[in-house]
Structure 1
Amino acid sequence: MTVPAQKSAFRHLGAAALLWASAVGCHAGSFGAGIENSRWYLAESVFECSLVHEVPGYGKAVFRHRAGEDLSFFLESALPLMRPGRGELVVEAPEWRPGVPPTPVGQVDVSDTPRPVSVDHRQAMAMVQGLLNGMRPTVTRTSRFGGQPVRVHVSNVNFAGHFESYRNCAANLLPVNYDQIRRSRIAFSSGSARLSATDRQLLDNIAIYVLADSTVEQVFVDGHSDRLGSRIDNRALSEDRANVVADYLKARGIAGDKLIVRAHGDQYPVSRRPADNRRTNIRLQREGERPEFQQANGYGGGSAG
């Protein structure tokens, strides 16, 4: 989409939201499901567990737990109803539990995006605890189109049973997600091509992920050295470093034809510090991703490392 087309689409969206706000009236600033229409559903895989709640008239409320990360929460809406800025998050009693005071959870950032509110793990867990206690998390922020507050409620009705299913899903998540291991680095001591226990743990996680994600089509393993010593020795050492990583990944089940193993010697330094250049880089490539090419840029250097 061109820039003018994007601006036009945004103007149309804003106009639609303004018409919608005018149509529902200034008193319709509270959104939430009631007992009769509160729905939760779980989207689950080894890569991610998401508890999704439909908020009638507003959009969705989502608890999201990606592999290798903590639980988080966000609101999703096609219409920009809240004014960007700082909103309030509280856990309060629903209408059928009068007299219970609300518990402040903290401020939240409200953005001008389809996901206007995202909260961190601490706040997400406070929301979960409130829901399990029969309370209703609520986000409040001034309306984009006037001074009236917009209040989005997250219903506790039907939550507890689905949360148990979420916990079972979370227990079976992979240890890492794609973004965490798509680019990884193994550092080596001078003259060494030995893997440490920490290195093996990283490689175990990479292997577990690659075996689970059928869209990963190639794993690039690139060995490097510093510039201390002769180029011939450095080339051989970088090859040993690449091979020790590739052999470990093969032993963990990754097919040899998926591995692209290369040795670069001291051709591609990333720093003036020799220790930063003694490394093997591992890069995953999924189907459809554009291949990337390393660029040579150098610094200077005298035993192999």
Structure 2
Amino acid sequence: MDGMARISAFLRGAVVSSAIGALTAGSVAVQAATFGAGIENSQWYLSESVFECTLVHQVPGYGRAVFRHKAGESLSFFLESETPLMRPGQAQLVMEAPSWRPGTAPRPLGRVNVDDSRRPLMLESRLAMVLVQSLLEGMDPTVTRESWYDGSPVRVKVSNINFAGQFSGYRSCTAGLLPVNYDQIKRSRISFASGSTSLSDADRRFLDNIVMYIQADSTVERVFVDGHTDSSGSRIDNRALSEERANAVADYLIGQGIEADLVTTRAHADQYPVSRRPADNRRTTIRLQREGERPDLQQANGYETATPNT
């Protein structure tokens, strides 16, 4: 079955509303294919770990609606569908009252972007929290956009039924999230003042986050710690200085509980500059490697996440 046939089948299987209100002031009511769970099949599923908390809602005939909070990041919301039913462009986001609350006026929230990916709608933290509050108030967030199929409206409705109970567990989950996620720390950098090998309090707090993550993620199998300098000294002096900088970071990680055989230290002097600014090159980099990841051929070079306030 080709893409157009799949879309047609989806639309034929959708619940078709008899009429919906005007999408914007002054427009006429039109029929729309509406995808959404009813009272009998509306469920929310909570997935929780120290790495991520998610609330997943199955939207029959369409796909999923997901609230996600990754460690070290803010809450987000997205719709997910294997088949792109909506035409890319601006969709209308409205908080609608369910059918058993007649007389409650809908609350338009404006337009949101829709694309043709598997996650056609992605909302950042502020709007995601607005959706949460609306669901807790018994409203149904609804996204309406023209279809790929024939230009008629496609509506995806997120049901509030059974949301509140699972959201309580979700809040407990977010309280236990790690302070950082893997993508934020897999390549990190500690900066140093000229000639210095000392760690600041901010450096130690940042390294504490790395330690906490490694201790929670059993798939981290290697920690590469590489010391670097600028080019202001002799090669011999810079080699020794870069080694001291690498050891300062490695010793702190090990002292905080990282197994020593996990850590590999290397000293590169001024061999791998990342900038023309000397301050950018006075650094120690930390790179994590998980099981199954292909080792980086340029392990000592490249760009890293910097310690906050450096």
Whole-angstrom CA distance in 2 between matches of 1:296 and 1:129: 46
Whole-angstrom CA distance in 2 between matches of 1:253 and 1:260: 15
- The match for 1:17 among 1, 7, 32 is 7
Q: Does 1:98 align with 2:122?
A: no
- The match for 1:88 among 85, 89, 92 is 92
2:32–2:155 contact (8 Å) kept in structure 1? no
Aligned partner letter, 1:211: Q
Shift of 1:25: 9.2
Say which is worse superposed, 147-156 or 22-31, in terms of deviation.
Answer: 22-31
1:223–1:279 contact (8 Å) kept in structure 2? yes
Aligned partner letter, 1:118: M
Shift of 1:295: 8.0
Q: Does 1:242 align with 2:246?
A: yes
Alignment of 1:21-32 (within 5 A): 21=11, 29-32=33-36
Whole-angstrom CA distance in 1 between matches of 2:300 and 2:270: 10
List 4+ stretches of structure 1 deviating above 4 A. Answer: 22-28
Tell me the equivalent position of 1:302.
none
Q: 1:216 to 1:124 in 2, by over 3 A?
A: same
Shift of 1:296: 8.7
Aligned partner letter, 1:261: T
Shift of 1:268: 0.7
Tell me the equivalent position of 1:233.
237
Say which is worse superposed, 142-151 or 220-229, in terms of deviation.
Answer: 142-151
Aligned partner letter, 1:77: S
SS of residue paired to 1:29: strand
2:32–2:152 contact (8 Å) kept in structure 1? no
Say which is worse superposed, 288-297 or 29-38, in terms of deviation.
Answer: 288-297
Tell me the equivalent position of 1:220.
224
RMSD between aligned alpha carbons? Answer: 1.7
Whole-angstrom CA distance in 2 between matches of 1:138 and 1:24: 15
**Structure richer in helix, relative to its length:** 1
Alignment of 1:75-154 (within 5 A): 75-154=79-158
TM-score, normalised via structure 2 length: 0.89
Whole-angstrom CA distance in 1 between matches of 2:50 and 2:269: 38
Q: 1:221 to 1:29 in 2, by over 3 A?
A: same
Tell me the equivalent position of 1:174.
178
Q: 1:38 to 1:25 in 2, by over 3 A?
A: closer
Q: Does 1:68 align with 2:72?
A: yes
Tell me the equivalent position of 2:274.
270
Q: 1:208 to 1:296 in 2, by over 3 A?
A: closer
Shift of 1:24: 5.5
Tell me the equivalent position of 1:195.
199
SS of residue paired to 2:61: coil
Whole-angstrom CA distance in 1 between matches of 2:94 and 2:152: 18
Say which is worse superposed, 87-96 or 202-211, in terms of deviation.
Answer: 87-96
Shift of 1:273: 1.0
Whole-angstrom CA distance in 2 between matches of 1:25 and 1:155: 14
2:115–2:121 contact (8 Å) kept in structure 1? yes
Whole-angstrom CA distance in 2 between matches of 1:296 and 1:23: 55
1:268–1:295 contact (8 Å) kept in structure 2? no
- The match for 2:215 among 211, 214, 227 is 211
- The match for 1:291 among 289, 292, 295 is 295
- The match for 2:187 among 183, 186, 193 is 183
SS of residue paired to 2:284: strand
1:40–1:51 contact (8 Å) kept in structure 2? yes
Shift of 1:12: 2.5
Whole-angstrom CA distance in 2 between matches of 1:196 and 1:179: 23
- The match for 1:48 among 45, 52, 57 is 52
Q: Among the aligned pairs, what percent are the same residue?
A: 66
Aligned partner letter, 1:230: S
Could you list the runs of 5+ residues in structure 2 that have no partner in the other structure? 17-30, 302-310
1:267–1:296 contact (8 Å) kept in structure 2? no
Aligned partner letter, 1:275: A
SS of residue paired to 2:285: strand
Whole-angstrom CA distance in 1 between matches of 2:251 and 2:299: 26
Shift of 1:105: 2.3
Shift of 1:65: 0.6
Aligned partner letter, 1:13: G
TM-score, normalised via structure 1 length: 0.90
Say which is worse superposed, 27-36 or 69-78, in terms of deviation.
Answer: 27-36
1:40–1:52 contact (8 Å) kept in structure 2? yes
